[in-house]
Amino acid sequence: MKHYKLSVLTLALATAGLSSYGVVAQEAKAATNDKKAEDQIEVIQVSGIRRSLQLAQDLKQQSTSVVEAVSAEDIGKLPDMSIAESIARLPGLAAQRLDGRANVVSVRGLAPDFTTATLNGREQVTVGDNRGVEFDQYPSEMMSNVVVYKTPDAGVMAQAIGGTIDMQTVRPLAHGEQSIVFNLRGEHNSLGALNPDSTANGFRGSFSYIDQFADDTVGIALGYAKMTSPNQEERWNAWGYPDLNSTTKVIGGAKPFVRSSELKRDGWLAIVEYKPTERLHTTFDAYYADFEDEQRLRGIELPLQWSSASLTANPTVENGFVTKGTFNNVEAVMRNDVNLRTADTFSFGWNTEYQLDKNWSLEADLSTSSADRKDFGLESYSGSGRGSDVGAKDNLGFSFGNDGIVRFTPTLNYADPNLFKLGAALNWANGLTVPGNGQDGFINTPSIEDTLNAIRLSATRAFDDGALASVEFGMNYSEREKTKLDEGYYLTLKAYPAMLSVPGEFALAPTSLDFIGMGSMLSYDSLALYRSGAYNEVSEG
């Protein structure tokens, strides 16, 4: 039997081999343990309102300017009627309301005309008379983020003195997963339907679809939002408070109305994103909104102190103001008015980025935006006689309530179709070619067109070290044209000089004015009456 004595070198190599095997074995065992641990890890994904607040905070922290931000917790999850409602809650911003809805936004107390709005960084046209953007044209369900720049930023092309509000839509590739979202909400107005041809019920619905294709090189996002929103309003409007004598003031006249409106808005959004390589990235996005607002207003104009009506003796006077009394010989004018507004807003943009190398990148952005708005305002008058001092006159009691609204006590039935007929109750026809009592109505038809085309080219140079991280430079060219045409027409019944009983096919149930004590008033479909050809039109020019 042979015995071998291991040399020092052999022992060293053997030891090294065992050590090596031990290390490999330990690494394999560690990898197995890591895999088991990974399989057992509980993933906590933040979503909901916390995620929304976190995203908004990240946007603010990453900006080099003073900004405010709001972010949707998920696509289609901003709950407001329009994006104006969402951003109005941010610090330093306030929304101005029109007919119950948030319409335009002020930044830092400056008027809306000192604020501009962009969609994905591109300046937007407006449907308003000036440059203040009416944000109720933009459904909140379509937006992913909104960033409000309160200070100038060199990277923002469109800037205003008050601030810049950038509305941002989703990017499907960055979203990273397929999403299909439906939303449906209902609403009911507690005042009910104040006018007989209105409704108290409405709804909002939206649909969003996001997906990625071709190994995540192509992404699409499609969205649609529809809203039908009613609004009801009881409106008190005084003409003013002239002097009754040297120590006492009295109400000059009143114009109480009930207004019923229905806002209809359809919004479409389409985004296509293409990133075939790490160097090339291009995005198309288009947005279109169809906006329609229909209002029915019915009320009675009551000339009081500023008319031939007379205040009875010994009215109640408190602190130099007549709070209770009676006006005799009041000639009232009833109004059945209609306001229609239609507006179309379109925005399209194409952005392409190309990375030349690790330090140089190029970007091109082309965009167009257009808006077309048409208004139609119709006033239709009725009374008990044509012209002044002709028809029935009312002895109208009045008293001021603690809310500052006057409650009246009439002696006439303003819903009587035999007493009140179509035609001018007062001599209002300024400049009309027919005699001065021939203004039986009026229409106003302003329209606005606004177009904006822009192109932006830029290059960015990044630095590996030094005080500057990168420098961006380029050019931006935009061309904008906005026009407004406003035409008005006097309306005179074709039956002039006779007054006309409301035709049966246009008659409606009476409208209640009980909120100011006037009872009910004569109501009819004035728009259908006008479209039937009952009036002659004379241009106010």
Instruction: Tell me phi and psi for residue 104, to 5 degrees.
Output: -120, 165
Tell me if residue 523 falls in helix, strand or coil: coil
Name every residue whose Cβ is closer than 8 Å to that of residue 456 and which is 6 or more positions away in sequence.
157, 363, 364, 365, 366, 474, 475, 476, 477
Q: Of 404, 421, 420, which Cα lies nearest the Cα of 412?
A: 420
Name every residue whose Cβ is closer than 8 Å to that of residue 137 and which is 6 or more positions away in sequence.
82, 127, 265, 289, 291, 343, 345
Cα(254)–Cα(240) distance, integer angstroms = 8
Instruction: Tell me phi and psi for residue 393, to 5 degrees.
Output: -120, 150
Tens digit of each residue's pLDDT, the chain (541 residues): 444 444 544 444 444 444 444 444 455 455 555 555 555 565 554 445 566 667 667 777 777 677 888 877 655 566 677 888 888 888 888 888 887 788 888 888 888 888 888 999 999 999 888 878 888 888 888 888 888 888 888 778 788 888 888 999 999 999 889 999 999 999 898 889 999 999 999 999 999 999 999 999 999 999 999 999 999 999 999 989 999 998 999 999 999 999 999 999 999 999 999 999 999 999 999 999 999 999 999 999 999 999 989 999 999 999 999 999 999 999 999 999 999 999 999 999 999 999 999 999 999 999 999 999 999 999 999 999 988 888 899 999 999 998 889 999 999 999 999 999 999 888 766 555 566 678 899 999 999 999 999 999 999 999 988 888 889 999 999 999 999 999 999 999 999 989 999 999 999 999 999 999 999 999 999 999 999 999 999 888 7
CA-CA-CA-CA torsion sign (406, 407, 412, 414):
positive
Tell me if residue 198 falls in helix, strand or coil: coil
Cβ density class 252-289: b for 16+ within 10 Å, e for less:
bbbbbbbbbbbbebebbbbbbbbbeeeeebebebebeb
Cα(266)–Cα(206) distance, integer angstroms = 10
**Amino acid identity for residue 152 in this structure:** P
pTM greater than 0.85 (yes/no): no
Cα(140)–Cα(324) distance, integer angstroms = 48
- For 50, the enclosing helix (H) or strand (E) is helix 48-62
Contact in structure between 337 and 380 (CB atoms under 8 Å): yes
- Half-sphere exposure of residue 398, counting CA atoms within 13 Å on the CB side? 28
DSSP string covering 113-133? GGEEEEETTEE---SSSSS--
- Alpha-carbon torsion angle 333, 488, 435, 396, nearest 10: 10
Strand partners, 179: 210
